Amino acid sequence: MRRAACLVLIAASVLIPAHGEFSDFTFLAPRFNFQILEGPPVPVGADVEFRFPISGSDRPPLALSVRLGAGYEDGKLVRDPLDGDPIPAPATFDDPARFDAPNAQWDLGIVRGLVRGSGGNRLEAFLLYRGRWDVYRNGFPTAVFPDARGLFGTALLAGLGYDRVRDRGRGLKSGAAAEVSGEWGPGLLASRFGPVDYGRLNASVRGYLPLLPEGSTLSRVLAPQLALRAAADAAFGPDQPLFVLQGFGGRYEGRGLAGEVRGYPTRAYDASFKAYGNLEVRLFGPALGPAAPMAFAFLDGGAYSGLHKSPTYGDATGILASAGAGIAIGIGPAFHGGLYGGTRLPVEDPLVPVYVPEGGRGFFSAMFTLHF
């Protein structure tokens, strides 16, 4: 069964397009459940986006944007729902802090092209009406987190997106992309099932620099590349939901701070303000059909401030950092499966005793997911 799940995941990932151009249809990403097989990710849903042109080519392009997503994912809580203080991340999949989380999400709105490229918009503005429905199957109290058992809420999202990333095959990319957005989810747009009331601002940037000329003899065998990504997310409001605290915003939401800074427990550091940066040096081998081997070295850093509704760590601030290297097989422009290891760097972080109670700095992990 595990082998079949892996094959399905690989097949789905091949369909993921490069983000170099905004298109009329985009398979954004699969959704995973890590609890079903207690470790290996099982694809349990997907996110797709459609665009329907409204104006003709003789005017600035205007399109209706529709995004749909659903899945049977899993979640975990790394803060005590009774008082909001951090707790150790669950080490086993039968831990009560882990739960199933069936969900659905949708966006509906308009996208206005501001600068056109050869294959679509290079710069565009967007205004979206966003909704989500989450059911968290657990018995947590809702005194601290009203949405601890799930939510039904909607929000408004507006911003600008820029994309000049080009896919050069076997995982190599060139160019840069960026986005800034604001999201507003007031209580009047939410139901009594998991009430929410929040706002947040998000900014992100990523870029790719090949270190050899395209088409050179050496690059066909070994192609080095420098990759950079950074993002910042600031939330505010009386009832910030778990999906806001545990992840990054924008049109295509990112993982949490500890998911982006490698070596720390995922979904930990669910702060109102968080930021991270990734720097990677990648070396791509020759293409093997649709796949290509890759070796990489990385340096990750992040920061957080303020654990929402935590009486002890409500004003806590800290820094996360790690460095390491790995090997992987890439399929398509974004999927990589492999292994990596590294060390957590010595930084000022008051939550390390809670989230890394075993002390040591070294870590080793499997990589079977989307990669920027």
pLDDT in tens, 268-297: 999 999 999 999 999 999 888 778 899 999
State the average pLDDT over residues 132-136: 94
What does the pLDDT read at residue 332? 67
pLDDT at 359: 78
pLDDT at 87 over 60: yes
pLDDT tens for each residue of 92-106: 998 989 999 999 999
Strand partners, 163: 177
What is the C-alpha to C-alpha distance for residues 162 and 360, in angstroms, rounded to an integer?
41
Two structure tokens written together for 3: 């082998």
Q: How far apart are CA 277 and CA 203, in angstroms?
A: 12
Radius of gyration of the chain (CA): 20
For 128, residues 6+ apart whose C-beta sits below 8 A from its C-beta are 65, 67, 107, 108, 109, 156, 157, 158, 251
What tens digit of pLDDT does each residue of 54-85 get? Answer: 876 656 689 999 999 999 999 999 999 999 99
For residue 40, the one-letter residue type is P
Instruction: Give CA separation, 220 vs 99, 166, 168, 208, 350, in Å.
Output: 46, 17, 11, 18, 47
Which residue in this structure is represented by tokens 């990669």? Answer: 371
Please measure the distance between the N-terminal and C-terminal CA atoms of the chain and give it in whole angstroms.
28
| Distance separating alpha carbons of residues 178 and 203, to the nearest angstrom | 8
The predicted pLDDT at position 334 comes to 62
Closest C-alpha among 208, 110, 194, 115 to residue 159:
110
pLDDT of residue 171: 79
pLDDT exceeds cutoff 50 at 3: no
Write the pLDDT tens digit of every residue in 325-368.
Answer: 999 987 766 677 889 999 999 988 999 999 988 878 999 988 77
Q: What is the CATH number of the domain that holds 34?
A: 2.40.160
Helices and strands in the chain, H and E counts: 4, 15
For residues 95 and 117, which has the higher predicted lDDT (pLDDT)?
A: 95
User: Using CA atoms, how far apart are residues 199 and 66, in angstroms rounded to an integer?
Assistant: 22
Q: Is the pLDDT of residue 19 over 60?
A: no
User: Cα(328)–Cα(154) distance, rounded to whole angstroms?
Assistant: 38
For the chain, what percentages of helix, strand and coil (3-state, to nearest 5) are there? 10, 55, 35
DSSP state of 233: E
Distance in angstroms (rounded) separating the CA atoms of residues 269 and 64: 36
pLDDT, one tens digit per residue, over 181-223 is 999 999 888 777 888 899 999 999 999 999 988 777 777 788 9
State which residues form the domain around 37: 2-370
Burial of 352 (0-12, 13-18, 19+ CB in 10 A): middle
Per-residue model confidence (pLDDT) at position 330: 79
- The count of structural domains within the chain is 1
What does the alpha-carbon distance between residue 112 and residue 124 come to, in Å, rounded to a whole number? 5
Q: Taking the model in full, what pTM does it have?
A: 0.87
Non-local CB neighbours of 365 within 8 Å, separated by 6+ positions = 262, 263, 339, 340, 341
